[in-house]
């Protein structure tokens, strides 16, 4: 075949349409018309005619994993991508917290913060406290205008660890002319039983009293007052502002011939032993816990007390039968017996208010108001503040003199007073006129015939 015939044959094959019985070669895949040739956006509905470049097949998103024919692994059930499974646990947790919170609040106010429980807790805590400080005053006001005294006040300051203890008590008296008389007694009791005492303001009180007496004394008594004044002034000068020591050995010596010295030593040892092992405060607190005779009612931020007569008598009987009371009775060679019954007149009972910390139940102060309701002639008011210091350091006072020196001073005072009455001309001399070498039968014995 020539070149011309071959070319014509190829042209004919390219231009002729194949018949149905002739096989048609497979056509190449044509991309989808919308993707290959996107249409311009229509002005009427722009959001609907903007196709996505590659839309995700709908069946793959809408079909949940559990609806597939093939079961899903167990891990898909507890997958963190399923938050609906945590909702019940949160609800249960919140409900549990709410129940606990409501229960705690109910317990707090209905049980722990019950006024009577707050009062009783504060009393037990005060009893069990090993360190206590008290500062306050109590005032008796006399309502009778015919009384020479307008008021008497007692001012107290004390800090203690039961033993040792130290403090002061001031007695302040005011007359109807508003003149003040004051005496202050300071005391320190050590753990070994030694007692230290001091009197302050004695000279000022004596001078004021003497001035009042001299202005009102009947005629003819001036010489008597003058005779007493000199020895008393000397005695007051020795006593005023001076610490005096009364040791256990001094008490034993002054009580020679009696058992008081041994009894006092036994009491001191018993108290110290009960403090050291904690039995005394614990025993008293347990007695009160079993017989809570005080009830409280909240009033303007304070707690007003009332006394249950039956329970306070039950507490007194329990205290009378306690181990501490029996040991103290053994020291004094006595029997406890049946305690006197306490009677409470609720109509005439003083108003007692406690200031207590609402959360810690610590007693902060005590107020007492006792007006003159029944024309008894006086009214009473008191305020005591109570704290519990971390440290209480109580030491023996410096420059204390033994009580035996005070006994010698009193002996000299008695001799001077007797001499001033028997020899008003002041010519009396003890050694010459009434000495032991004279004919006077001196049989006075200090321990037998005097206070000591």
**pLDDT per residue over 100-136, tens digit each?**
666 555 544 444 578 888 898 999 899 888 899 999 9
What confidence tens digit (pLDDT) does each residue in 389-420 have? 988 999 999 999 999 898 888 888 887 777 66
Residue 324 lies in a domain: yes
- CA 324 to CA 329: how far, in whole Å? 9
In this prediction, residue 20 carries a pLDDT of 46
373: confidence class by pLDDT, cuts 50, 70, 90:
confident
In this prediction, residue 13 carries a pLDDT of 58
In this prediction, residue 93 carries a pLDDT of 63
The percentage of residues in the chain with a pLDDT greater than 90, rounded to a whole number, is: 35
Residue 447 lies in a domain: no
Residue 334 lies in a domain: yes
The pLDDT of 427-450, averaged and rounded, is 47
pLDDT exceeds cutoff 50 at 452: no
pLDDT exceeds cutoff 70 at 97: no
Residue 18 lies in a domain: no
In this prediction, residue 396 carries a pLDDT of 94
Residue 256 lies in a domain: yes
In this prediction, residue 21 carries a pLDDT of 47
In this prediction, residue 241 carries a pLDDT of 94
28: confidence class by pLDDT, cuts 50, 70, 90:
low
In this prediction, residue 163 carries a pLDDT of 85
What does the mean pLDDT of the chain come to? 77
- CA 209 to CA 215: how far, in whole Å? 10
Residue 275 lies in a domain: yes
In this prediction, residue 232 carries a pLDDT of 83
* Other CB atoms within 10 Å distance of the CB of residue 354: 20
Rg (CA), the chain: 51
What confidence tens digit (pLDDT) does each residue in 134-167 have? 999 999 999 887 888 999 999 999 999 888 999 9
Domain containing residue 375: 120-201+240-399
Number of structural domains (the chain) is 1
In this prediction, residue 423 carries a pLDDT of 57
Residue 274 lies in a domain: yes
What confidence tens digit (pLDDT) does each residue in 75-90 have? 444 445 555 544 466 6
Q: For residue 324, give Cα distances in angstroms to 192, 374, 445.
A: 18, 39, 37
Residue 72 lies in a domain: no
441: confidence class by pLDDT, cuts 50, 70, 90:
very low
Q: For residue 153, give Cα distances in angstroms to 172, 175, 216, 367.
A: 5, 12, 25, 15
């Amino acid at each position: 075949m020539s070149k011309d015939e071959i070319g014509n044959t190829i042209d004919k094959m390219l231009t002729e349409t194949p018949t149905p019985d002739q096989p048609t070669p497979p056509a190449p895949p044509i991309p989808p018309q919308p993707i290959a040739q996107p249409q311009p956006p229509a002005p009427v509905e722009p959001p609907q005619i903007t196709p996505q470049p590659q839309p995700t097949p709908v069946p793959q998103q809408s079909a949940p994993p559990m609806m597939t024919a093939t079961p899903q692994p167990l891990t898909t059930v507890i997958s963190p991508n399923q938050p609906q499974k945590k909702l019940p646990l949160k609800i249960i947790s919140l409900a549990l917290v709410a129940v606990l919170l409501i229960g705690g609040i109910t317990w707090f106010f209905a049980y722990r913060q019950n006024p009577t429980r707050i009062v009783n807790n504060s009393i037990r805590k005060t009893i069990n406290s090993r360190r206590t400080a008290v500062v306050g005053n109590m005032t008796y006001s006399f309502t009778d205008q015919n009384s020479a005294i307008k008021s008497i006040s007692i001012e107290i300051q004390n800090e203690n660890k039961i033993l040792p203890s130290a403090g002061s008590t001031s007695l302040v008296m005011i007359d109807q002319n508003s003149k003040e008389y004051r005496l202050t007694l300071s005391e320190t009791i050590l753990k070994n039983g030694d007692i230290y005492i001091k009197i302050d303001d004695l000279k000022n009180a004596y001078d004021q009293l003497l001035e009042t007496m001299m202005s009102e004394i009947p005629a003819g008594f001036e010489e008597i007052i003058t005779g007493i004044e000199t020895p008393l002034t000397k005695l007051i000068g020795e006593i005023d502002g001076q610490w005096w020591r009364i040791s256990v050995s001094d008490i034993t010596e002054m009580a020679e011939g009696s058992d008081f010295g041994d009894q006092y030593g036994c009491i001191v040892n018993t108290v110290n032993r009960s403090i050291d092992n904690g039995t005394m405060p614990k025993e008293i607190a347990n007695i009160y816990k079993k017989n809570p005779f005080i009830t409280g009612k909240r009033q303007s931020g304070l707690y007003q007390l009332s006394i249950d007569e039956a329970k306070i008598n039950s507490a007194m009987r329990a205290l009378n039968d306690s181990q501490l009371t029996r040991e103290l009775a053994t020291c004094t060679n006595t029997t406890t017996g049946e305690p006197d019954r306490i009677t409470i007149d609720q109509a005439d009972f003083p108003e007692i208010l406690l200031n207590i910390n609402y959360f810690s139940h610590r007693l902060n102060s005590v107020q007492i108001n006792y007006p003159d309701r029944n024309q008894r002639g006086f009214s009473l008011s008191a305020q005591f503040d109570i704290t519990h210091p971390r440290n209480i350091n109580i030491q023996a006072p410096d420059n204390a003199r033994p009580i035996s020196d005070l006994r010698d001073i009193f002996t000299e005072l008695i001799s001077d007073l007797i001499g001033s009455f028997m020899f008003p001309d002041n010519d009396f001399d003890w050694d010459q006129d009434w000495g032991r070498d004279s004919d006077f039968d001196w049989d006075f014995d200090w321990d037998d015939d005097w206070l000591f």
